[in-house]
Chain A
Amino acid sequence: MAQLILDELRRNFGTVKALDGVSFSVEDGEFFCLLGASSAGKTTTLRAIAGLEKLAGGSVTFNGQDMTHSPVQGRGMSMIFQTFALYPHMSIYANLAYPLIRDRVSRSDIRRRVNEVAELLRVTHTLKRKPSTLSGGEQQRVAIGRAIVRRPQLLLLDEPLTNLDAKLRNDMRAEFKRLHRELGMTMLYASPDQLEALTMGARIAMIDNGKIVETGTPQGMYGAPSHTFVASMLGSPVINLVKGRVNQSGSHHTLELPFGTLDLSGVSLRTELSSGDSLTLGIRPQDLHVDAAVEGSGSADLSISGRIHLTEPLGDVTILDIDVRGSLLKMVLPEEQAATYSLGQDIGLSFSLTDAHLFDADSGARMN
């Protein structure tokens, strides 16, 4: 059982708390994503698991064994570094063989396994060359090869796609999924890119300021984010967040937004609301719809009228920035539909209350 359990990891760099009680667990064979902005603590978490960082507190349990104080060598883990970290003075063959030589694998086995891995990652033609003569994508694949050649029980990936161009990144995403399926090893993948996390992770842990904000499945976290931070990190374009004030008359609640009033009677909330409470409404750009007849529409819970401020055509779809009485809302329209509008034109919008995410404006915690 290659199960990894992190409990309350702490690590300080001077006065900065790089890890401030990081806890999560990764199941055997799982593809787990650690999502967070740069310097949120992703790399430090991975390095702590590998034993490359001294912890100020907490424990790392792997395979049922407490590894908090074990040496780096012999943990049964491999890591793919952001900079690839190939040995520049060695040939690709020697790079791939290095972990096996250290493990005292016999020479014939080394040759067989290096060739296998080179084949799997399509770098056989580079075996005699030095890393600096390889393209970025090839270097990346060699780095993967060196990490998997010893068949680790846990593979740590530290932003492995950050140093690649956009096209390669797309290819490699699929490549990682393929490798995970073929090798069946437990993978912990750190990334600042929500797209990578959403497409690849079976589960995601979101980290911010050295703390885990939420752990869950991509669908769960996208569909019902527990926090404004999670909501704004997942999804592209970024979710629209608008602050409003609660108005209470009897048991009836409404939310006063800059562009209208939202009836909250159909929403089940986690806490009681009272007049004057501040809420943040989150609505994904994809959940905003064009409403031709803004006045007197039936199905939508709130209709808004605004003016098109900016358009970003992406080919198949276009992102529209719509100025609604001073606040900008983003929405996504199919290219053909967006083509019928021009800059500065008035547009009617609507959304349904079932698509609305409500958060406490102060704490950022989810309310519905």
Chain B
Amino acid sequence: MAKQREIGKAGWGHTAVAGIVGFIYFFPVFWIILTAFKTRTDALEIPPKLFFTPTLDNFRAVFFRSSITSDETAATNFILYFFNSIFIAGTAVLLAMLIGTLAAYAFSRHPLKGNDTYLFIILTTRMMPPIVVIIPIFLMFRLTGLAGSYWGILLLYTAFNIPFSIWLVKSFFDELNPEIEDAARMDGSTDWRVFFGICLPQIYAGLAATFVFGMILTWNEFLFALLLTGVETRTVPVAMARTLGGSVGVDYGLLAAIVTLFLIPICIVTFLLQNQLLRGVTFGTVKK
């Protein structure tokens, strides 16, 4: 009797290959996390050490550090920076999704004359490299007094995320069966109720995917944050860059600790929305 292979279950060989590829991808992250627990000497050791006595000093140093001039440890502002990163990215992405979802629904269900042209124009704002637009934006922010304020960076990141939100969410709306909305209308639903009660619940997965992608993009954004945030509104990537260098050289352990901490919130978000995410990115590609 021939042994039949179960569909959907890969053999050991496939699993091993996948494991190796996965390990190669994950290795840099793994190494950073490892470095975060190393002392300065361990971190700089050549050849690199895989086994060492772990220390939490680096993590302590993220928040409390002795300055070069005095031996006293003082609180760094990293708690504020982490708050800023979470608050700014979260708020901007949610705002962009709110506006983007409404716009996407309108583009999908009530197309304008030249609908595609408008969609294209919206996307063009994201086509040029940020470095090209940073100077005029910086000047505008200086002039209006938005530079360094929460409003400024929130405004920018929201605008930054809107095109992406519109395009992605519109594709989810386009996938929906319009007869379902007609049915709801005939059953007595107003347009608002059709939108909130019938359309949105069907694309929750897509919205979750959009949120995570937007978060990752915004979370890691450096260039605009560098120029447009102030002492009070500084985000982690900027603060991280500022801890680089200095008279005593690069403290790799400290940097690795910041990166490790920086990974945690985005990992939590992605993990929580994991199931939705997979359904979101494959939305419409699988026949219902």
Contact = CB atoms under 8 A, between A and B. Distances in A.
> Do A and B make up one complex?
yes
Interface in B151-190: 177, 179-180, 182-190
A83 B189 contact: no
A330 interface: no
Nearest to A74: B188
Contact of A85 (B180, B190, B204, B288): B180
Given A52-B182, A73-B189, A83 B202 contact: no
Contact residues of B: prevailing secondary structure? helix
Contacts, number: 55
Contacts of B187: 78, 98-99, 102, 146, 150
Interface size class of A (residues with CB under 8 A): 20 to 34
Contacts of B259: none
Interface string A76-118: 0111011101111100000000110011000000000000000
A86 B188 contact: no
Contacts of A89: 201-202, 204
Nearest to A86: B180
B103 interface: no
B198 interface: yes
B177 A52 contact: no
A328 interface: no
Contact residues of A: prevailing secondary structure? loop
A239 interface: no
Given A83-B179, A88-B202, A89-B202, A52 B185 contact: yes
Contacts of A72: 182, 185-186
A233 interface: no
Interface residues of B, number: 17
A98 B180 contact: no
A47 to B, nearest CB: 8
Contacts of B180: 85-88
B179 A85 contact: yes
Interface in A109-163: 132, 146, 150
Nearest to A90: B201
A82 B180 CA distance: 11
Nearest to A79: B186
A50 interface: yes
B206 to A, nearest CB: 13
B213 to A, nearest CB: 22
Contacts of A132: 288
Contacts of B201: 89
Contacts of A47: 182
Given A88-B202, A89-B201, A73 B188 contact: yes
A99 B177 contact: no
Nearest to A78: B186
A87 B185 contact: no
Contacts of A74: 188
B188 A85 contact: no
A75 B190 CA distance: 14
A245 B198 CA distance: 61
Which among A50, A73, A83 has the highest number of chain B CB atoms within 10 Å? A73
Contacts of A102: 187-189
A146 B186 CA distance: 11
Nearest to A81: B179
B177 A103 contact: no
A151 to B, nearest CB: 13
A85 B183 contact: yes
B252 to A, nearest CB: 49
Nearest to A158: B179
13 contacts: A72-B186, A73-B188, A75-B186, A79-B182, A79-B183, A85-B177, A85-B180, A87-B180, A87-B198, A98-B184, A99-B188, A102-B187, A102-B189
Instruction: List the 5 shortest-distance A-B pairs measured between CB atoms, nearest first.
Output: A102-B188, A85-B179, A99-B187, A85-B183, A89-B201
Interface of A: 47, 50, 52, 72-75, 77-79, 81-83, 85-89, 98-99, 102-103, 132, 146, 150
